[in-house]
Structures are given as C-alpha cells and as structure tokens.
A = this chain, B = another copy of it.
C-alpha cells in the first residue's frame, strides 16, 4: 500500500519545533554544565502520559542515560524528557548511573510524576564527572520556567504561540555541542478528523556514523498512536535517514532518537491518513539528517551520494555510505578536485557487489566515468560543480534495481581544529 501521489504534500511546515503538537511543551536554559553562558539543559513535557518509542546507539559502550532510557521506555510510556549538553555522562561507572537516575528523579519531582516516566539523554565529553548539583539546579529552573510558560499560555489567555515557540527554540539550542545551526522543525497534517502535528529537534555535528547517525533527535506528535506503531514508524525512518549520515566514521556512545505521541489531537490516523503521517515522519527524519550532515564538524560543503542499480538494498546502502565516508573523497571535495578515482576506489572496498567495469559516476549532472573508466569530461565544468556548497555524486552500479542515498560533508582543516582541542 503506498500513498497516492497527489495527497503526498498535504502537510505544511510550521514553527514551534517539539512544542508545536498540542499538549507538548519544551524549554531550554543555561545551567552552566560546561560553559557559563551556553544553553545546555532542555526539557520536553507532555500534559498527559505519551506513547514512547526510541532508537539507541549500537556502540557496545553505552552512556549511562542511554542505559536508563532503554529501561524506562520498556513499558512504552513516557511523559517527559530531560537532556543536557556539555557532558556525555558516559564511562563513569556507578556515579554515572546515579547521575542519570538523579536527573530523572529531579524532573519527576518538579513535574510531580514518577521517574519511570522520564527519559534522559546527554551529549558532550566522555569520562568526565557530571557536575550534578549544577545540572539538577538547571532542571529545576527549566521546569519552573516551563510551568510558568504553560500558565501564561493556558490561564492568562495570552497569545501563547510566541512564548511556546521561543521556549522550544531554546530547548533545541540547549542540546547543541559543536553544532553551528539550531535544528528544529514542525509540520501539520490535515486528516479526515482534523489536524495532527509533528515536531522535532536534533543535534549532530561530530562522532557521527552508520549505526544511529545522529547524536540526539527528538520528535513529538499529538496523533493517537500506540508505542509499537510509533516504534516501527521510527525504525524505518531512522534506517533511511539518520543511519545514512556519516561525518567521521565514529559511532557515539550516546546516540538516541526518541519519539513521543500524546494523542492530544484526538485523532487516530487511519488508512490514507496513516500513510500521510508515515510520509511526514520520514520527511522530518530526512530533513533532520540532512541538517546534521550540512552542519558536520568543520564542513564547508554538503554531500549527497545517490546510488542506483544495486543488486540489493544493502549493497546500495554500503556503496553510498562508503563513498560518503571516504576520507580521500571528503578531502577532494574540500579541495574541489574532480578526483573520481577515489570514488570508485571507495566503491571497491565498500563490500557492495558490482562489476567495476560497469560503473558510471556523475558529479552533479556531469558524467565523469562510464563502464568503470574516465570519460573525457570538462575539468572546468567539474570544478564549477565542485565550487558549489551542495554537491551530488551519482553512481550507477548497473547490477540491479536497488537504490540508496547517503549524506555527509567534506573534511576540512576546521574538522581537525575542532577535534584537536575539544576537551581542553
């Protein structure tokens, strides 16, 4: 069953981020986790318990908040999420477990909920003790402010949207580390029974690779969905979006994407409406994934690799990611150098099955190799294409009908600079 094309773009992008769906609230504050003046503590809250789904890092080394959230999400319910940047709360043993637990307990106290209904995520440096009193104070402050915003919007009949939008924006700001751009978005879908909304925010930038491409992503919706529906929607969208982003080949200990549905719209999307919602979730994940790639550490260029003609979907994915992640492709991109040999070399070690003598490669729309060999292309035209900020590499493996896309960025001096001095 697939969506009728004409109804495909029924949704509209709206402001408000994760606070856009009915009954959701978000806020971000400057707690002082690592820096005095950076927004670094965020909360997301639903007026009622929400169905919850999550996808977590496949790194064997999992941060303490990842382990705790995996536990708390097991019953498919959550009502709030608390997130800090500036410290990953990873590899700290007992004290790390306790810190993650204390964060959920503090949020539970402030919201008057059970701590089992609170999820938690952290991002930042690994192995450094959490400044727990600072973080707990931050949680108190963020929730006090959020409750104030709620009162203002609900009781005093103020034009609430501006307040909500700004607070959600601060939440999206608070989860950033080396990110340069705030990544948040929301959309609205007209369904038969009325309107449902989807909100999202994410942070990315470094330590990003295959299994769970983003460090942190959060989505909220006021649609009525079960936790298992939510989980399968999330899994399939993450597979083709976040998991196809590669910045530096490093899979983080903290990667987490959470998705909450509180049903506050009163609408259960069925049939065509469900397909629309599914498409919207995918669109949102693609948007976030591309924003993360675009904002890769030190990136000066955005890269999309499109693979067609693969024998299997897995081959297509391997090929696309291998090219996207190859240091030599990434540096050539930075240098605006039409060195397509590095692209075919990366295909060759990708593990994908294909005949090297059948491959075609394009930079943008310029064919540079056919049947595995260079064609006489205009180097001037290639250089023009590579001078753009967004670069598309197309590859036809000529071995089947499967396709995949992967996203990444170039490898620049600034990547080295940023990562040569991150803890200190």
A contact set with B: CB distance below 8 Å:
58-62, 88, 90-93, 96, 125-128, 206-207, 209, 211, 248-253, 325-328, 331-332, 334-335, 337-342, 344-349, 354, 356-357, 369, 371-374, 411-413, 415-424
Chain B residue contacts of A413, Cβ below 8 A = 413, 416-417
| Among B248, B249, B339, B420, contact of A332 (Cβ-Cβ < 8 Å) | B420
**Min CB gap A189→B, angstroms:** 36
A349 B92 Cβ-Cβ under 8 A: no
Measured CB to CB, the nearest residue on chain B to A374 is B127
Measured CB to CB, the nearest residue on chain B to A376 is B129
**Min CB gap A309→B, angstroms:** 15
Measured CB to CB, the nearest residue on chain B to A328 is B250
B419 A345 Cβ-Cβ under 8 A: no
Chain B residue contacts of A337, Cβ below 8 A = 420-424
| Among B88, B93, B341, B347, contact of A127 (Cβ-Cβ < 8 Å) | B341
Measured CB to CB, the nearest residue on chain B to A298 is B416
Given A91-B341, A211-B349, 8 other A-B residues pairs in contact with their CB atoms under 8 A: A126-B342, A126-B345, A127-B374, A209-B349, A250-B346, A328-B419, A332-B422, A334-B420
B416 A412 Cβ-Cβ under 8 A: yes
B416 A249 Cβ-Cβ under 8 A: no
Chain B residue contacts of A128, Cβ below 8 A = 341, 374
B416 A345 Cβ-Cβ under 8 A: no
In the complex, A79→B337 CA distance in Å? 39
B332 A419 Cβ-Cβ under 8 A: yes
Interface centre among A250, A337, A347 (most CB of B within 10 A): A250
**Min CB gap A221→B, angstroms:** 31
User: Given contacts A338-B423, A339-B125, A420-B334, is CB(A61)–CB(B250) below 8 Å?
Assistant: no
Q: How many copies does the complex hold?
A: 2
B374 A58 Cβ-Cβ under 8 A: no
A91 B331 Cβ-Cβ under 8 A: no
A93 B373 Cβ-Cβ under 8 A: yes
User: Given contacts A93-B357, A327-B419, A419-B328, is CB(A250)–CB(B342) below 8 Å?
Assistant: yes
List 23 A-B residue pairs with CB atoms under 8 Å apart, sorted by A's residue number: A60-B349, A60-B356, A92-B373, A93-B373, A125-B339, A126-B341, A127-B341, A127-B373, A207-B345, A249-B326, A249-B327, A250-B342, A250-B345, A251-B345, A252-B345, A253-B341, A327-B327, A332-B419, A332-B422, A334-B416, A334-B420, A413-B416, A413-B417
A253 B91 Cβ-Cβ under 8 A: no
Chain B residue contacts of A347, Cβ below 8 A = 60-61
**Min CB gap A389→B, angstroms:** 16
**Min CB gap A345→B, angstroms:** 5
In the complex, A310→B347 CA distance in Å? 31
Chain B residue contacts of A60, Cβ below 8 A = 347-349, 354, 356
In the complex, A332→B252 CA distance in Å? 15
Measured CB to CB, the nearest residue on chain B to A329 is B250
In the complex, A357→B422 CA distance in Å? 24
In the complex, A372→B94 CA distance in Å? 11
B416 A356 Cβ-Cβ under 8 A: no
Interface centre among A331, A341, A347, A423 (most CB of B within 10 A): A341
Please give me the 10 A-B residue pairs with the lowest Cβ-Cβ distance, nearest first: A126-B341, A335-B420, A61-B348, A331-B419, A59-B348, A251-B349, A127-B341, A248-B327, A93-B373, A127-B374
Chain B residue contacts of A59, Cβ below 8 A = 345, 348-349
In the complex, A211→B349 CA distance in Å? 9
Chain B residue contacts of A125, Cβ below 8 A = 339, 341
Chain B residue contacts of A207, Cβ below 8 A = 328, 345
